[in-house]
Amino acid sequence: MPRATGTRPAGDTAAADGYDARPYLPVRGGLAAHRRAAADCRGCPLYEGTTGTVFGAGDASARLMLVGEQPGDQEDRRGEPFVGPAGSLLRRALDDAGLDIDAAYVTNAVKHFKFVRPSGGGKRRIHKQPTLRELSACRPWLAAELRLVDPELVVALGATAGRALWGSGFRVGERRGLLVPLPTLDDGALHGRGLATIHPSAVLRADDREALYEGLVSDLRTAAQALG
């Protein structure tokens, strides 16, 4: 049975219509306890048809946290974040920027893979962007990870991760590469700073991959400098 740990903000549409992961969070415990609890999360319909929850992974006391959008097809099958093509590109970009992904904590704003099937049929699963309602429903897991890891710097990879942190009005083009305070989330004020950049998958989709890749690396170098 899920266990309630608190209340959602007044007027929260996701909570009002049953889209709410908060009842599934454990009352106490660290990342391991939250990872186990997240495996049974039914806080929104995205769990249906997936292999399972893809929780965050990495150093539990990391100074750097990387937040993406959602797991992809390979991440869903393997149960780990950023192990597909976008993850490979991210690792290369971090290395070029002087950052070590093995010393970071990596997660996604949404913990289940949202997909659609091709209109003509077939087994292929095509990524679909999560809605704000789904993003809000899943945000208690991200808030818990932020509280437990307590990183000095959070890098939001793409618009969905940025909206999970700074709200629906967030735009990557307006905020990318800037060091800003982290917001107040469900569990209170966060320490450290945040920085937004593009998602690695945007580089893979681009016609001019080299230019977008260099922009991603430049933003990550700003993160590296902020960490000293």
With 70 as the cut, is the pLDDT of residue 153 above it?
A: yes
In contact, 155 and 65? CB cutoff 8 Å: yes
Q: What residues have CB less than 8 Å from 225, skipping those under 6 apart?
A: none
Q: Is the pTM of this model over 0.75?
A: yes
H helix intervals, 176-208: 200-205
- Check residue 199 and give its pLDDT: 97
Task: Name the pLDDT band for 60 (thresholds 50, 70, 90).
Answer: very high
Query: How high is the mean pLDDT of the chain?
Result: 90
- Check residue 191 and give its pLDDT: 82
With 80 as the cut, is the pLDDT of residue 100 above it?
A: yes
Q: Which amino acid is at 7?
A: T
Q: Pairing state of beta strands 153-157 and 64-68?
A: parallel
What are 183's two structure tokens?
């917001």
Phi first, then psi: what are they for 21, rounded to 5°?
-85, -15
Q: How confident is the model over 148-175, as a mean pLDDT?
A: 95
Angle between helices 159-166 and 132-149 (to 10 degrees): 70
- Check residue 3 and give its pLDDT: 39
- Check residue 120 and give its pLDDT: 76
- Check residue 186 and give its pLDDT: 66
Phi first, then psi: what are they for 93, rounded to 5°?
-65, -40
d(CA 155, CA 216): 11
